[in-house]
């Protein structure tokens, strides 16, 4: 059997034929947990000179990272860390694996990056595990951040009690949606419920779809770290909110792995929105009346 008839596997096997249509006979197939490629004779000859091939399992033959969907990269890290879907779901606050599963499905999760709040929960779950050990930077890359850009995390109990939090303006969008500009228009002292929360903010309410709960000019206090609960008010986003972001402010009646069930008051209406389209959920924990 010649070079073209050998197949190199992750643990150093050279005893199985390579029979993939569409590839030239001058190469071998390397199978990895991320991608498959054909590498040709010069490189194979180099590998063949190395007697101990077990180290191959630590080498990744991958496409450029920009070409790999974030869902696939997440799955690779989870498998490398030896974490099950059920364990990942529990870390993210879901009761069953189905709540987490759509994050690894490229047909359902269509965003380029993972939400920041998801990554922050995955860092302690994946970090340092696997072979080679997963670096925190590998996990932050899922959110589009690179080494050296991760924020400094201050423990909540060390945050100053007299801190100011940003207030963002909202404008009416189509179909009852809002456009929230995440450039602060003001800063106000943090209310009691947000004093020990990281990254809280307020939204200046416009529109009357949530009257009497919220009237135009009220400020909704938002805790982006708090998990959703039934019969609470929430802000939903398409993607992690930066710059101008489309949002929905409604009462969360219930939810399933596939959809949010929401309620507005003016006019009275219960309706559903896809979790795939609106994966980011921030909790409203209070308000400041305009009057």
Instruction: Determine, yes or no, domain membership for 8.
Output: yes
Q: Are residues 107 and 204 in the same domain?
A: no
Q: Is the peptide bond before 278 cis (omega within 30 degrees of 0)?
A: no
Q: Are residues 166 and 284 in the same domain?
A: yes
Closest by CA position to 247, among listed 212, 209, 217, 211: 209
Q: For 137-153, write each residue's pLDDT tens digit.
A: 889 888 876 443 445 55
CA distances to 13, 16, 44, 185, 212 from 47, in Å: 12, 16, 5, 60, 71
Residues of the chain with pLDDT > 70, as a percent, come to 70
Contact, 72 vs 78, CB < 8 A? no
Q: Are residues 196 and 280 in the same domain?
A: yes
For 256-266, what is the mean pLDDT?
A: 91
Report residue 122: phi and psi, to 5°: -85, -25
Higher pLDDT, 21 or 65: 65
Instruction: Determine, yes or no, domain membership for 202.
Output: yes
Instruction: Determine, yes or no, domain membership for 221.
Output: yes
Q: What is the pTM of this model?
A: 0.50
Average pLDDT taken over every residue of the chain: 76
Q: For 193-222, write each residue's pLDDT tens digit.
A: 898 888 899 999 988 888 888 989 999 999
Report residue 176: phi and psi, to 5°: 75, 10
Q: Are residues 33 and 95 in the same domain?
A: no
Give the count of domains, the chain: 3
Residue with tokens 């850009």: 149
Task: Please say if the pLDDT value at position 124 is more than 80.
Answer: yes
Q: For 104-113, write each residue's pLDDT tens digit.
A: 988 878 778 8
Instruction: Determine, yes or no, domain membership for 152.
Output: no
Give the E-state strand segments of the chain in sequence order: 27-31, 36-40, 164-172, 178-189, 201-204, 219-223, 232-237, 244-255, 259-265, 268-274, 280-288
Q: How confident is the model at residue 12 (pLDDT cuts 50, 70, 90)?
A: very low
Both tokens of 95, joined, read: 């009761």
Instruction: Determine, yes or no, domain membership for 182.
Output: yes
Q: How confident is the model at residue 43 (pLDDT cuts 50, 70, 90)?
A: low
Both tokens of 86, joined, read: 């059920």
Q: Are residues 79 and 33 in the same domain?
A: no
């Amino acid at each position: 059997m010649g070079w073209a008839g050998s197949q190199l596997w992750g643990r150093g096997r050279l005893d199985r034929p390579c029979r993939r249509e569409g590839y030239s006979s001058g190469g071998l197939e390397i199978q990895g947990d991320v991608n498959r490629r054909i590498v040709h004779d010069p490189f194979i000859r180099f590998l063949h000179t190395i007697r101990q091939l077990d180290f191959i399992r630590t080498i990744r033959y991958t496409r450029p990272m920009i070409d790999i969907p974030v869902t696939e990269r997440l799955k690779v890290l989870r498998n490398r860390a030896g974490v099950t879907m059920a364990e990942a779901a529990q870390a993210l606050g879901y009761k069953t694996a189905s709540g987490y599963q759509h994050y690894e499905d490229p047909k359902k999760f269509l965003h380029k990056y993972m939400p920041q709040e998801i990554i922050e929960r995955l860092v302690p779950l994946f970090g340092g595990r696997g072979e080679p050990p997963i670096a925190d930077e590998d996990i932050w890359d899922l959110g589009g951040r690179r080494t050296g850009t991760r924020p400094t995390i201050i423990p909540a109990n060390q945050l100053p009690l007299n801190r100011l939090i940003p207030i963002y303006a909202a404008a009416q969008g189509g179909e009852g949606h809002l456009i929230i500009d995440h450039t602060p228009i003001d800063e106000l002292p943090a209310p009691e419920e947000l004093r020990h929360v990281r990254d809280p903010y307020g939204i200046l309410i416009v529109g009357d779809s949530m009257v009497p709960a919220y009237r135009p000019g009220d400020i909704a206090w938002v805790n982006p770290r708090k998990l959703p609960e039934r019969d609470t008010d929430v802000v939903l986003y398409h993607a992690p909110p930066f710059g101008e972001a489309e949002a929905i402010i409604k009462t969360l009646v219930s939810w399933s792995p596939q959809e949010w069930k929401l309620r507005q008051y003016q006019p009275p209406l219960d309706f559903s929105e896809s979790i795939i389209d609106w994966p980011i959920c921030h909790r409203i924990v209070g308000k400041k009346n305009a009057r």
